[in-house]
């Protein structure tokens, strides 16, 4: 009985558990988390698995993604135990800051553990119809392997730490859905998308020119490469340009999450440049 490191054979349980909570995840997404940080995901087990948490570290930043306890395990402080395990893991890897995205119901739990509110994220579960995104936009081109160094440098500036292995992993898996905007040899923005058998996830989405037409080109071009179906978007509510661009999308559900942090606050100042987050399980 107790907490142990997640193993590949736990993936079916994790997928089943998070999907029962109305989160749509497929096995490749859980596998990606394990590849990024094999020691950072944990299962609480008492004769059977009852809960799960995942943590990923990027330099001085730790990120806690999934934290779910089964209905059978609730009321036993399992969630708090898993959260403490994840925080301890991040700190043991040298993270001076720990980030997460909290549901409105979960904010009080995280505040009890020393987390503070940062930004509010507007979330959309969309039903993207055929032709809703009308194809490549002029000036928006595919990211090439030679571009990755500049993309990683800009991502490091926006995020505040090095997510290189994550960006490279997503690019290697989905190079056909990775696009950039540049002028005069200067990289002004980038967007990545990824697809599973169930859903499309759009992000990261960065546009430092702060021109609506550039941000729109990245959105339209990337989404047109991913096709139709269910899609997820998350944008900072403070970025009104981003809100305006995703507002016309056909929505199935909208909700808000709160970005929270524990420890040093190193993540302010780029909200107008960051149009879309990479994903609530990846940071």
Identify the pLDDT of residue 269: 60
Identify the pLDDT of residue 136: 78
Kindly state whether residues 85 and 178 are assigned to the same domain. no
Which CATH number goes with the domain that contains 198?
3.40.630.90
In-domain check, residue 59: yes
Kindly state whether residues 145 and 268 are assigned to the same domain. yes
Kindly state whether residues 56 and 155 are assigned to the same domain. no
Among 95, 111, 135, where does a domain finish?
Answer: 95
Identify the pLDDT of residue 186: 95
What CA–CA distance (Å, rounded) separates 209 from 279?
23
In-domain check, residue 282: no
- The Cβ of residue 172 has, within 10 Å, a number of other Cβ atoms equal to 11
In-domain check, residue 53: yes
Residuewise pLDDT in 10s, the chain (283 residues): 799 999 999 999 999 998 887 677 888 889 999 999 999 999 999 988 999 999 999 999 999 999 999 888 788 899 999 999 999 999 999 999 999 999 888 899 899 999 999 999 999 999 998 888 887 788 899 999 999 999 999 999 998 899 999 999 999 999 999 999 999 999 999 999 999 888 899 999 999 998 999 999 999 999 999 988 899 999 999 999 999 999 999 899 999 999 999 998 876 667 889 999 988 888 7
Kindly state whether residues 174 and 88 are assigned to the same domain. no
Kindly state whether residues 69 and 185 are assigned to the same domain. no
Kindly state whether residues 89 and 129 are assigned to the same domain. no
Kindly state whether residues 143 and 88 are assigned to the same domain. no
pTM of the model: 0.92
Q: Domain of 20?
A: 2-95
Which CATH number goes with the domain that contains 35?
3.40.630.30
Identify the pLDDT of residue 74: 85
């Amino acid at each position: 009985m107790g907490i142990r490191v997640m193993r590949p054979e736990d993936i079916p349980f994790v997928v089943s558990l998070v999907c029962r909570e109305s989160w749509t995840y497929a096995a490749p997404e859980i596998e990606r988390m394990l590849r990024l940080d094999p020691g950072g995901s944990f299962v609480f087990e008492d004769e059977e698995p009852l809960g799960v948490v995942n943590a990923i570290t990027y330099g001085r930043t730790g990120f806690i993604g999934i934290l779910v306890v089964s209905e059978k395990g609730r009321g036993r402080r399992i969630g708090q135990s898993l959260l403490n395990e994840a925080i301890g893991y991040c700190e043991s890897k040298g993270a001076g800051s720990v980030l997460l995205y909290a549901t409105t119901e979960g904010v009080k739990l995280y505040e009890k553990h020393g987390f503070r509110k940062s930004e509010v994220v507007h979330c959309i579960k969309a039903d993207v119809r055929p032709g809703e995104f009308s194809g490549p936009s002029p000036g928006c081109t595919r990211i090439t392997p030679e571009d990755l160094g500049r993309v990683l440098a800009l991502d490091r500036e926006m995020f505040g730490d090095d997510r290189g292995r994550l960006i490279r992993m997503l690019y290697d898996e989905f190079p056909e859905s990775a696009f950039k905007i540049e002028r005069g040899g200067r990289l002004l923005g980038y967007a990545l998308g990824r697809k599973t058998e169930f859903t499309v996830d759009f992000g990261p989405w960065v546009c430092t020119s702060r021109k609506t037409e550039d941000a729109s080109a990245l959105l339209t071009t990337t989404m047109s490469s991913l096709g139709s179906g269910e899609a997820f978007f998350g944008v900072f509510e403070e970025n009104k340009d981003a809100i305006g661009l995703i507002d016309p999308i056909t929505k199935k559900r909208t909700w808000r999450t709160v970005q929270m942090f524990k420890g040093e606050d190193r993540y302010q100042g780029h909200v107008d440049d960051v149009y879309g987050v990479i994903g609530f399980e990846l940071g």
